[in-house]
Chain A
Amino acid sequence: MKLQVSFSRKKVSEPIIARVVRDTGVLINVERARIEPSEGKVLIDVPDESVKLVCEKMRALGATVEVLEHAVMHDEEECVDCGACISVCPQEVFSFDEEWALTLDQGRCVLCGRCVQACPHGALTVEK
């Protein structure tokens, strides 16, 4: 499951993720990181059964944690099932089912935003 972790100015330099990995023994996959002088935002992937533990630890260290359930928003009304989003996604989030309708595997998304640019119909949005 994906977690969006944000931490503020003074925590930025602290090795929060490393500390959580050490303390919990949970292997965390960092999928995206945006560290700026005043804040940091990291997208991590954590095994489902450890989500609760990791969230607690992170919060104890002063981070804000959000479980990311719908990373990409797909507007089915706008979508025409063309497929222009499929080959540009580095994570293979999109595919066609047997009926040639677009299906999404949300859990794989790393919020890169490429699909949003590629969709000619404005049917996709990504959480910031």
Chain B
Amino acid sequence: MEKSIEEINTRIRDGNARVVSAEEMPDIVAELGEEEALREVDVVTTGTFGAMCSTGAFLNFGHADPPIRMERVWLNDVEAYSGLAAVDAYMGAASESTTQGNAYGGAHVIEDFVSGRPVEVRAISKGTDCYPRRTVTTTLLLEDLNDAVMVNPRNSFQCYDAATNMTERVIHTYMGMLLPHTGNVSFSGAGALSPLANDPAYRVIGSGVPIFLGGTQGMVVGQGTQSSPATGFANLMTTGNLKEMSPEFLRAATFTGYGVTMYVGVGVPIPVVDLDVVRSTAVRDEEIMTNIVDYGTPHRERPAIARVSYADLKSGKVEIDGEEVRTSSLSSYRKAREIAETIRTWVEAGSMELSLPTRRFNAAKRTRPMRETKVVPRVREIMDTKVVAVAEDEPIRTAAAKLLKGETNHLPVLNGEGQLVGIVTTYDVTKAVGSTRELTVVRDIMTRKVVRTTPEEAVDVAAQKLERHNISALPVVDPAHRVIGMLSAIDLGKLLGGRWQL
């Protein structure tokens, strides 16, 4: 048996459609069986509300008098992209204020607009014959704009890796604050309520399909950028009229140490047209699996350290290596439910009709990494291979003499096996001289916790280490902890001063 979309829409118009949420569907299917569920249920509603950096709006300001071609434009000091026609700009949610940093950004501008607050618009231009004006400053409300169209390149991921941190310091990421030593796990997405989790083969979600977006009815434009359905990470490009949206479902946010983002509410009503849809919407949290990955690894391929289900993640704790680790979400399950509920009321009231995709997604699409034509320089290429070191049981005088020769300001300290056990700087020696304690050998004054690098580490990562620890040199060690070089801020500076800018 199949059910046509016309049949479903007729029921919606007549007020007879049976609408259930994706949370209720599994039990209904279990109770009635697939055939009966197909007959009974017409629409399954989904929803998700989480951080979606890839969000923004096209704004049309109208013409000033005399007119200006707005070449660069700032809204409340947040720059919008204006490489478009004369009085249009795209305000990206993640763009940050030139004056307030990440306390205020594009997402906040958008939230201010939808909340009815005034926004200061500033633009500059070089002036042309047709657009003679060179600057303009005005204060606008959302209603003053001709158009404000939200277009989000990628929203509503099918699934997302959960994050943890195996390093020894707190890290700040777009997955939130991650405590050291696998101290917590954070995850994103609504699990079985997530739109794409209910249609993983993209049979009914595609271009032109009506959706809930930011509190109003929008639609799917197409497959989102970086969508990778072949690996279970599909997403949607969405659009909707910003003027109809509400701050209930569109909220600016800042992840400390990362930046500005926007929480967006997205929901898709799924027409139950055949048994395949019945089966795909019967999915439970227990069946949706994801990896917990280590965000402390500064590489594109982050190691997966556990595989868990959304049911595990939502339970508040998971087990990693025999230890219980607390989990928590970044996206709001409560809001996701509210979205699914809102769609239900729309469909039941006959104010939202459904349609099948005018264009299907490519389910075989797979995201590729960037093709890099210039390889990131490695520490090996710029390190100083001439290493002046000192043994831990040598007198401090020896260290002082080596430092005084002026070839280095950082002396790696080695044990009997030639392995790195500490570091000594001019400062340590000076301090030792002033100390009242009995200090005789290098071991007594060295710093034991040495921040180090490896020959294969990318120089950007090494540069970050220097900055974070506020130091100026790193010993380069091989797997046997022998020092094979030194990397100093000066070496990095030479490199970064040229083609690299951090």
- B176 with A118: CB separation less than 8 A: yes
A82 contact from B184, B326, B331, B337, Cβ within 8 A: B331
- A84 with B254: CB separation less than 8 A: no
- A120 with B254: CB separation less than 8 A: yes
Contacts A87-B326, A117-B177 given; does A80 touch B256 at CB 8 Å: no
CB B405 to nearest CB in A, in angstroms, measures 41
A121 contact from B177, B253, B329, Cβ within 8 A: B253
Say yes or no: is B228 at the interface (Cβ < 8 Å to chain A): no
Of all chain B residues, the one with the shortest Cβ separation from A118 is B177
* Most B CB within 10 A of own CB, among A82, A88, A99: A82
Chain B residues closer than 8 Å to A80, beta-carbon distance:
49, 251, 263, 332, 335
Of all chain B residues, the one with the shortest Cβ separation from A80 is B332
Say yes or no: is B185 at the interface (Cβ < 8 Å to chain A): yes
Q: How far is the CA of A9 from the CA of B424 in the complex (A)?
A: 38
Say yes or no: is B342 at the interface (Cβ < 8 Å to chain A): no
Of all chain A residues, the one with the shortest Cβ separation from B335 is A80
Chain B residues closer than 8 Å to A118, beta-carbon distance:
176-177, 256
Chain B residues closer than 8 Å to A85, beta-carbon distance:
328
- B335 with A81: CB separation less than 8 A: yes
CB A64 to nearest CB in B, in angstroms, measures 32
- A121 with B251: CB separation less than 8 A: yes
Say yes or no: is A32 at the interface (Cβ < 8 Å to chain B): no
Q: How far is the CA of A101 from the CA of B328 in the complex (A)?
A: 13
CB B294 to nearest CB in A, in angstroms, measures 16
- A100 with B328: CB separation less than 8 A: no
- B176 with A84: CB separation less than 8 A: yes
Contacts A84-B329, A88-B184 given; does A120 touch B176 at CB 8 Å: yes
Contact with A along B315-343 (1 / 0, CB 8 A): 01000000000111111111101000000
Number of chain A residues whose Cβ lies closer than 8 Å to a Cβ of chain B: 20
- A99 with B334: CB separation less than 8 A: yes
- B256 with A117: CB separation less than 8 A: yes
Q: How far is the CA of A122 from the CA of B100 in the complex (A)?
A: 15
Q: How far is the CA of A118 from the CA of B316 in the complex (A)?
A: 17
Q: How far is the CA of A114 from the CA of B180 in the complex (A)?
A: 13
Say yes or no: is A83 at the interface (Cβ < 8 Å to chain B): yes
- A83 with B251: CB separation less than 8 A: no
Interface residues in A72-93 by Cβ distance below 8 A to B read: 80-88
* Most A CB within 10 A of own CB, among B186, B326, B332: B332
A120 contact from B49, B261, B334, Cβ within 8 A: B261
Interface size class of B (residues with CB under 8 A): 20 to 34
Q: How far is the CA of A85 from the CA of B19 in the complex (A)?
A: 34
- A120 with B51: CB separation less than 8 A: yes
- A101 with B177: CB separation less than 8 A: no
Say yes or no: is B124 at the interface (Cβ < 8 Å to chain A): no
Interface residues in A93-116 by Cβ distance below 8 A to B read: 95-96, 99-101, 114
Interface residues in B244-258 by Cβ distance below 8 A to A read: 251, 253-256
Interface residues in A39-98 by Cβ distance below 8 A to B read: 80-88, 95-96
Of all chain B residues, the one with the shortest Cβ separation from A102 is B334
Chain A residues closer than 8 Å to B251, beta-carbon distance:
80, 121
CB B107 to nearest CB in A, in angstroms, measures 10
A81 contact from B179, B184, B327, B332, Cβ within 8 A: B332
- B332 with A114: CB separation less than 8 A: no
Chain B residues closer than 8 Å to A96, beta-carbon distance:
333
B179 contact from A82, A88, A101, A122, Cβ within 8 A: A88
- A87 with B184: CB separation less than 8 A: yes
A88 contact from B49, B177, B253, B334, Cβ within 8 A: B177
CB A51 to nearest CB in B, in angstroms, measures 31
Say yes or no: is B218 at the interface (Cβ < 8 Å to chain A): no
Q: How far is the CA of A63 from the CA of B186 in the complex (A)?
A: 42
CB A88 to nearest CB in B, in angstroms, measures 5
Q: How far is the CA of A48 from the CA of B346 in the complex (A)?
A: 51
Q: How far is the CA of A121 from the CA of B335 in the complex (A)?
A: 14
Chain B residues closer than 8 Å to A86, beta-carbon distance:
316, 326, 328-329
Q: How far is the CA of A80 from the CA of B185 in the complex (A)?
A: 19
Q: How far is the CA of A80 from the CA of B335 in the complex (A)?
A: 7
- A81 with B334: CB separation less than 8 A: yes
B186 contact from A84, A95, A121, A122, Cβ within 8 A: A84
CB B265 to nearest CB in A, in angstroms, measures 10
Contact with A along B139-177 (1 / 0, CB 8 A): 000000000000000000000000000000000000011
Chain B residues closer than 8 Å to A117, beta-carbon distance:
177, 256
CB B493 to nearest CB in A, in angstroms, measures 32
Q: How far is the CA of A121 from the CA of B263 in the complex (A)?
A: 9
Q: How far is the CA of A95 from the CA of B317 in the complex (A)?
A: 12
Q: How far is the CA of A99 from the CA of B179 in the complex (A)?
A: 27
CB A126 to nearest CB in B, in angstroms, measures 14
CB A78 to nearest CB in B, in angstroms, measures 8
Top 8 A-B pairs, shortest CB-CB distance: A86-B328, A120-B253, A87-B184, A87-B328, A100-B334, A83-B329, A87-B326, A118-B177
29 contacts between A and B (CB under 8 A): A80-B49, A81-B332, A81-B335, A82-B331, A82-B332, A83-B328, A83-B329, A84-B329, A84-B330, A86-B316, A86-B328, A87-B179, A87-B184, A87-B185, A87-B186, A87-B326, A87-B328, A88-B176, A88-B328, A100-B332, A101-B334, A114-B177, A117-B177, A118-B176, A118-B256, A120-B330, A121-B251, A121-B263, A122-B254
A82-B330, A82-B332, A86-B329 known; 6 new pairs, CB 8 Å cut-off, are A84-B329, A86-B326, A88-B176, A88-B184, A100-B333, A117-B256
